[in-house]
Structure formats: structure tokens, C-alpha cells
């Protein structure tokens, strides 16, 4: 079968490999669509870890892709709650089940947490094998394209649900990449009425407007926080940090009102500093959430009932043979791109 495997920094190759086989409590899925994530871009740029993951033991090369949907084609004999032919989305978190977090049901905070597609062969392939608990059934009216968006939507949706946002509140979203745009959709669904989006790309800001941002601000402006305070009469209730760099964190802290909250969703490549004096005098909070837990069924239901229009963030559909040039390279250079989906077979 065809698979896009990462051998090293900027060394992603589409190669033929054997189809995987199921073991106990596993399911084999024929992949229909798989999305390219910012985490994939980071792995592509820096290369996979040379150390084996503590739960998977896999060493490079590794098949990338952790945002994907498909059809069940094979089940282990001890899998009884699923059927061949069912349409599914995959929740790719790998966790030990034994640590303090796992025993509390907080599997996204497992001390050994990993991902199918980052720490074990993933969805940029014709077929993939996953554990049965990772599989979530898709209703007939949810497309495979939408199914591939469940995972990245879960990141934003979970952070919004865990934030202190209330219906009618004003929010600011710093960063209008895929996670920022999905955060926009999630805060709309949660009842935010004033949604301010900040990004350095005019193309991304235009997309944010199309998806429902009430105001957009170019991230190169000198008075971002002041503008937000003027627009909201004192600051936003929640600022969502979806860019992962010092300037956006600084502006997020400065933009919240007294008693407000900064929710950091992005992965930060470098440590950032926070003005604790501002937090002290505002009585504001800074918090964050890693990935998601226990939200896939709710997100699938919201997509099915039209409350989350996730397909609106899809900007390109490509074939796996073109994954480097029309996928990864486009996301590095073309700011009009948001979510690019990959078809692993013709």
C-alpha cells in the first residue's frame, strides 16, 4: 500500500509498504481522507524523534497523519461492538491507562501520551490499524471530509468548553490558522457575540470574516490591545492564544478584562514570558489545555446537526502522491490555505 513516511528532517517519502495486520482489540481502517496538521509541519521541519516512544517503541521512519476518517475493513476476533463497513473517525491519542491522569479519566494528560501518526504509523496511508476505543462511528450525513476534521475540531472545542466563556461574551482569537478558525466556529457555537480575530495574514483574516468574525485586526498593528479594549468597553472575557509565540501571548494577556481569562491552545516552540503584574491587578487567569478528552461524540453530533460547519475550513483536497509539493509546501508558503486533506488512494 502507499504511505507517506517521514525518514528525517524534510524527508517525507511516498513509498510502498505492507498492509498492517490487526492484533487483539484492534481495528483495520481503510483511510478516506487525512488532514495535514501544524504538528505534522513541525515534524516535517525538525524530523521525527530518534528515541522510541515509551508506549509504541516505534523508530523512524514513521507514517504521519493523525487527523483521519475511513471505513472499517477488518476487526480482531475480540472486537464485538463494531462492524466491517462502518464509517468512522479516529481519536488518535495513545495513553498508558495506568498513570494518575489515566486512572482519573484524563487520558489526554497521560504521563506517556502519544499520537497515532506522530509516535506510531498513522493515516497518510491506504490502511491503518488502531485500537477499538479510538474508533467513533460517523452518521450517514457526516461526510468523510468532515470526519477528518473531527480531530482538529476537538482541540479547539475542548479548549473552548474548558474556558470560562459564557453566552453573550466577547472573545479575541490570536492566530487564524486551522486551530484558530476552528476555535472561531467553536466560540460561535458556544454563544460568543463579539468575536475578534488577530493574525498577520490578510488572507487568513478574510477567511475569519467569512466564518463569522465580527472584527479582524492585523497582527502587525501597534495598538492591538488598545483597539480590543475600545471595541469591547474594557477587554474581552476570554482570549484564545492559537499562535504560540511571544507577541500573541503578550497581547492576549493585555486584551482581557478584569476577571478575564487567557486560554492557550497552541503548542509553544519556545518559552514565553507573562506580565504577572497585569494578571494581578486584573484578577485574570492564564490557563491551557492539551489535546482533548471525551468530546468526539459531541463534536460528531454537532457536525451532523449543522451546529458546527467544519467543512468551511477545508481549502484543498489532494492525492498522497502530491503531499509534499501541494500539501506541506503549500501550507508553509500560501497563507490562503487552512486545512488541506489528503486522499491516500486513487
Q: Is the pLDDT of residue 146 over 90?
A: yes
What nine digits make up the cell of 172?
479575541
94 contacts 55 by C-beta, under 8 angstroms: yes
* Three-class HEC string of the chain: CEEEEEEECCEEEEEECCCCCCCCCEEEEEEEEEECCHHHHHHHHHCCCCCCCCCCCCCCCEECCCEEEEEEEEECCCCCCCCCCCEEEECCEECCCCCHHHHCCCHHHCCCCEEECCCECCCCECEEEEEHHHEEECCCCCCHHHHHCHHHHHHHHHHHHHCCCCCCCEEEEECCCHHHHHHHHHHHHCCCCEEEEEECCHHHHHHHHHHCCCEEEECCCCCHHHHHHHHHCCCEEEEEECCCCHHHHHHHHHHEEEEEEEEECCCCCCCCCCCHHHHHHHCCEEEECCCCCCCHHHHHHHHHCCCCCHHHHEEEEEEHHHHHHHHHHHHHHCCCCCEEEEECCC
Domain 2-137+309-343 identical in fold to domain 156-288 = no
Mean confidence (pLDDT) of the chain: 97
- Cell 490557563 belongs to 287
Band of residue 206 on the pLDDT scale cut at 50, 70, 90: very high
- Cell 495486520 belongs to 21
Q: How far is CA 11 from CA 48, 59, 323, 325, in A?
A: 10, 15, 12, 12
Determine the pLDDT at residue 72. 98
Q: Closest Cα to residue 17, out of 5, 30, 28, 29?
A: 5
What nine digits make up the cell of 238?
476570554
253 contacts 286 by C-beta, under 8 angstroms: yes
Determine the pLDDT at residue 149. 98
| Domain spans of the chain, in order of start | 2-137+309-343, 156-288
Residue 223 burial class via C-beta count within 10 angstroms: exposed 0-12, middle 13-18, buried 19 and up: exposed
Rounded Cα distance between 129 and 121, Å, is 8
**Phi-psi region for residue 293, left (φ > 0), alpha (ψ -120 to 50) or beta?**
beta
- The domain made up of 2-137+309-343 has a fold known as Quinone Oxidoreductase; Chain A, domain 1 (3.90.180)
- Cell 460568543 belongs to 192
Other beta carbons within 10 angstroms of residue 292's beta carbon come to 24
Span 156-288: which CATH code? 3.40.50.720
User: Which residues does 246 contact at the CB level (< 8 Å), separation at least 6?
Assistant: 270, 272, 273
Band of residue 346 on the pLDDT scale cut at 50, 70, 90: confident
Rounded Cα distance between 183 and 161, Å, is 10
Q: In what order do the strands lie in the sheet containing 62-63?
A: 11-16, 2-8, 62-63
Rounded Cα distance between 2 and 80, Å, is 29
Q: Is the pLDDT of residue 281 over 90?
A: yes
Q: pLDDT, tens digit, for every residue of 147-201? A: 999 999 999 999 999 999 999 999 999 999 999 999 999 999 999 999 999 999 9
Whole-model pTM: value is: 0.96
Band of residue 34 on the pLDDT scale cut at 50, 70, 90: very high
What nine digits make up the cell of 202?
490578510
Amino acid at each position: 500500500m502507499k504511505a507517506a513516511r517521514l525518514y528525517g528532517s524534510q524527508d517525507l517519502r511516498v513509498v510502498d509498504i505492507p498492509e498492517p495486520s490487526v492484533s487483539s482489540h484492534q481495528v483495520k481502517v481503510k483511510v478516506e481522507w487525512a488532514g495535514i496538521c501544524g504538528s505534522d509541519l513541525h515534524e516535517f521541519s525538525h524530523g521525527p524523534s530518534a528515541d522510541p516512544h515509551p508506549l509504541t517503541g516505534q523508530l523512524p521512519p514513521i507514517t504521519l497523519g493523525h487527523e483521519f476518517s475511513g471505513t472499517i475493513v477488518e476487526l480482531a476476533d475480540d472486537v464485538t461492538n463494531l462492524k466491517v463497513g462502518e464509517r468512522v473517525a479516529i481519536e488518535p491519542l495513545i495513553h498508558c491507562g495506568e498513570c494518575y491522569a489515566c486512572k482519573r479519566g484524563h487520558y489526554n494528560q497521560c504521563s506517556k501520551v502519544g499520537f497515532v501518526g506522530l509516535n506510531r504509523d498513522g493515516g497518510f496511508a491506504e490502511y491503518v490499524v488502531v485500537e477499538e476505543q479510538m474508533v467513533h462511528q460517523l452518521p450517514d450525513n457526516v461526510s468523510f471530509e468532515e470526519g477528518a476534521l473531527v480531530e482538529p475540531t476537538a482541540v479547539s472545542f475542548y479548549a473552548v468548553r474548558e474556558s470560562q466563556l459564557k453566552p453573550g461574551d466577547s472573545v479575541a482569537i490570536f492566530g487564524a490558522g486551522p486551530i484558530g478558525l476552528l476555535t472561531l466556529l467553536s466560540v460561535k457555537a458556544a454563544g460568543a457575540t463579539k468575536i475578534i480575530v488577530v493574525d498577520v495574514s490578510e488572507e487568513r483574516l478574510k477567511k475569519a470574516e467569512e466564518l463569522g468574525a465580527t472584527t479582524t485586526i492585523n497582527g502587525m498593528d501597534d495598538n492591538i490591545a488598545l483597539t480590543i479594549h475600545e471595541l469591547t468597553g474594557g477587554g474581552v472575557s476570554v482570549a484564545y492564544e492559537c499562535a504560540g509565540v511571544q507577541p500573541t501571548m503578550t497581547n492576549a494577556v493585555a486584551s482581557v478584562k478584569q476577571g478575564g481569562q487567557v486560554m492557550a491552545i497552541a503548542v509553544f516552540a519556545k518559552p514565553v514570558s507573562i506580565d504577572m503584574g497585569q494578571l494581578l491587578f486584573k484578577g485574570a487567569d492564564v490557563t491551557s489545555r492539551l489535546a482533548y478528552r471525551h468530546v468526539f461524540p459531541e463534536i460528531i453530533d454537532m457536525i451532523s446537526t449543522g451546529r458546527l460547519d467544519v467543512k468551511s475550513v477545508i481549502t484543498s483536497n489532494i492525492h498522497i502522491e502530491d503531499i509534499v509539493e501541494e500539501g506541506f509546501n503549500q501550507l508553509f508558503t500560501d497563507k490562503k490555505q487552512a486545512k488541506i486533506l489528503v486522499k491516500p488512494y486513487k
